[in-house]
Structure 1
Amino acid sequence: MIKVGVLLTQHYKLLSVAAILDVFETANKLHQEKGLELPYEIFLLNGDVQPEMFLNTYKSKWIGQNEVYNLIVIPAFTTENMQASIALNSSFIPWLIQQYHKEAEIATVCTGVFLLGATGLLDGKVATTHVDACAAFAKAFPAVKLKPDKTVTQDGRLFTSGGATSSFHLLLHILQNQCGKEIAIKAAKIFAIDMDRQNQSYFSSFQPFRHHNDEIVASAQEQIELNYQDVSTIEEMIKDIPSSRRNIVRRFKQVIGITPIEYLQQTRIEAAKKLLEQTAQQMTEVIYNSGYNDPKAFRKVFRKAVGMTPSEYRDKFQAK
């Protein structure tokens, strides 16, 4: 029987914990219906957190107890201050490292990857997280090979997933590894999850970092956002800013994490996505109104950034 430990961290997301428990319980039920031994023994692992009332039916263990788990799952966090949450959950870090070195597998749901990142176990390995948390994760853990477009990653005994419903793709991937494809398919049907979704790029939204005190960078951001339809070079973007091109580019990359040109590109793509979602404009109008003149170049950039063509994106997300 596989011992599964679900961490109850400070600021854990209740929906995330519920999804984890539901999938493993479903796998147990499917085995029970066939008269087979249950594959999973599920434990809630506490640091200093008391479980929600409905979780009292599960076996609860304190991480200080000397036990080894086959699989540890870290749920998503509800907090927006991830560094503070990592600090609050720092007691889990040496314990996770110890469990990993005792051959445990570790899986993270959505932003739960930040806690795993803090252990250093992901350094040099691939990982993913919620698309809108990728920039913050890349900045916090530059040694990790972040794959923002991926729904699920596996690197040895470490598993990560993207946002929200991607947690089901992660859990189905684990079920397939441990219980076989038949059980994974049956669980996918129960939860109405398409097993073949591997890309999450089209769920992203460009949310530029603004909580900084660099007035030069803030001015550059404002110029780009006000004039993204008309400018195409750095010189045009910064002509009214009292600083050299080299200084602005250096400071912009240091503060925001991307170059001004990349910022312009992402601003334009986000504008195009909103036009595709919210208007009935012809594709030529969308292209022009988001700052592009070359339809071929626009489609190439859009597909690379979003993971599908503009027409496919409109079909998927346009409000009817």
Structure 2
Amino acid sequence: MIQLGILLTNRYRLLSVAAILDVFESVNRFYADDDKAPAFNISLFCMDEIDTNHAAEFKGYRIESICEAQKQDLIFIPAFNAANIVQAIGENQKYIPWLQQQFKAGAELACVCTGAFLLGATGLLNGKTATTHVDACPQFAHAFPTVKLQADKVVTGDGGLYTSGGSTSSFHLMLHLLQKYCSKDIAVRTAKLFSIDMDREQQTYFSTFSPVQAHNDELVAMAQQNIEAAYHNAGTIEELIKEIPGSRRNIARRFKQVTGITPIEYLQKTRIEAAKKLLVQTNQQMTEVMINSGYSDPKAFRKIFRKTVGMTPTGYREKFYIS
């Protein structure tokens, strides 16, 4: 029987824990229906002190301390329900050496969404591929620069370490693991039960460009304001920053240092975000959307949009249009 552990971290998202339990309990029922022993022995783990609230939320499960935990085969780290991920990681420091020990002993580790930040804090992801919620990727890249972040991916797996994108991507992660630990048949049965689209590989079309605004660099703030005010009229980035004191090289250096991207990338992302809003919130023709978001070349617009978002402008409208 596969030993499956789920961490009940501080500030965990109840939805992500519930989804893990629902999927693997369902798989055990598949086995029971086929007159087979359950595939997974599911355990829930907390830090030293057992929180009685956890016991109430997960009636029927014994909540164990990590101090008492036996070796696990697979451990899930749920997403965090916190705006301040750094604070959430600080509150879960005790899990870090335990996860390191379990991994060294042969356990595989899987993260749901922003749970990747806790795995990143263990150092085990250094030099390996990972993903997380698409909107949390800039913060993750800044916090863990040696991790090979693949922001567009729904699921990654590298050396026994697994990560997934936004919350619903956790289902794709679980399907991937079910195919490994059980069989493709079990993965397909699970996908049908939960109506999961098995072939989704990208999450970029769920992203929202949320640039860093809370900083003290007035020069960078001026550049950001200029771009956001005139992205649809300016032809080049030079036109938008020409009135800002300092050389373009110095502006570009400081801009990337503060925001994580270059002024040109910032302009493109601002334009694409504007185009996305026009596509789903208005009935403007595609040519109008292109012009109103700052582009003049249809071919270039489609190419940049698809590269940034992961689908064509037409496909994006069909998927998300608000009628």
Q: Which runs of 5+ in 1 are unaligned?
A: none
Q: Give the secondary structure class of the aligned counterpart of 1:121.
A: coil
Amino acid corresponding to residue 22 of structure 1 in structure 2: D
Match of 1:99 among 85, 96, 102: 102
Q: Give the secondary structure class of the aligned counterpart of 1:262.
A: helix
1:257 aligns with 2:260: yes
Amino acid corresponding to residue 22 of structure 2 in structure 1: D
What's the CA shift for 1:65?
1.8
- CA–CA distance in 1 between the matches of 2:180 and 2:155? 13
1:8-56 Cα offsets, whole Å, 9 max, x none, are 1110000011001111101100000000110101111101462151313
More moved, 183-192 vs 109-118: 183-192
Contact 1:113 1:160 in 2 (8 A): yes
Structure 2 CA distance for partners of 1:210 and 1:52, relative to 1, 3 Å: farther
- CA–CA distance in 1 between the matches of 2:202 and 2:159? 20
Q: Which residue of 1 aligns with 2:30?
A: 30
Contact 1:8 1:49 in 2 (8 A): no
Q: Which residue of 1 aligns with 2:151?
A: 148
Contact 2:306 2:312 in 1 (8 A): yes
Q: Which residue of 2 aligns with 1:316?
A: 319
Structure 2 CA distance for partners of 1:66 and 1:10, relative to 1, 3 Å: closer
Q: Which residue of 2 aligns with 1:46?
A: 46
Amino acid corresponding to residue 57 of structure 1 in structure 2: G
What's the CA shift for 1:91?
0.5
- CA–CA distance in 2 between the matches of 1:269 and 1:223? 16
Superposition pairs of residues 197-212 of structure 1, within 5 angstroms: 197-212=200-215
What's the CA shift for 1:63?
0.8
Structure 2 CA distance for partners of 1:80 and 1:229, relative to 1, 3 Å: same
Superposition pairs of residues 101-116 of structure 1, within 5 angstroms: 101-116=104-119
Q: Give the secondary structure class of the aligned counterpart of 1:120.
A: coil
- CA–CA distance in 2 between the matches of 1:6 and 1:52? 14
Structure 2 CA distance for partners of 1:211 and 1:49, relative to 1, 3 Å: farther
Q: Which residue of 1 aligns with 2:247?
A: 244
1:50-94 Cα offsets, whole Å, 9 max, x none, are 215131311221111252100000000011111111111011111
Q: Which residue of 2 aligns with 1:20?
A: 20
1:301 aligns with 2:304: yes
Superposition pairs of residues 159-174 of structure 1, within 5 angstroms: 159-174=162-177
Q: Give the secondary structure class of the aligned counterpart of 1:41.
A: strand
Superposition pairs of residues 111-126 of structure 1, within 5 angstroms: 111-126=114-129
1:223 aligns with 2:226: yes
> What is the TM-score normalised by the length of structure 2?
0.97
Structure 2 CA distance for partners of 1:111 and 1:49, relative to 1, 3 Å: farther
More moved, 254-263 vs 41-50: 41-50
Structure 2 CA distance for partners of 1:207 and 1:61, relative to 1, 3 Å: same
- CA–CA distance in 2 between the matches of 1:318 and 1:247? 41
Q: Give the secondary structure class of the aligned counterpart of 1:57.
A: coil
Contact 1:71 1:107 in 2 (8 A): yes
- CA–CA distance in 1 between the matches of 2:288 and 2:11? 44
Structure 2 CA distance for partners of 1:204 and 1:66, relative to 1, 3 Å: closer
Aligned residues: 320
What's the CA shift for 1:240?
2.2
> What is the TM-score normalised by the length of structure 1?
0.98
Q: Give the secondary structure class of the aligned counterpart of 1:56.
A: coil
What's the CA shift for 1:239?
2.0
1:198-217 Cα offsets, whole Å, 9 max, x none, are 11110111011111111111
What's the CA shift for 1:232?
3.3
- CA–CA distance in 1 between the matches of 2:39 and 2:214? 47
More moved, 132-141 vs 240-249: 240-249
Q: Which runs of 5+ in 2 are unaligned?
A: none
Amino acid corresponding to residue 106 of structure 1 in structure 2: L
What's the CA shift for 1:191?
0.7
Amino acid corresponding to residue 34 of structure 2 in structure 1: K
Contact 2:237 2:267 in 1 (8 A): no
Structure 2 CA distance for partners of 1:90 and 1:253, relative to 1, 3 Å: same
Contact 1:31 1:39 in 2 (8 A): yes
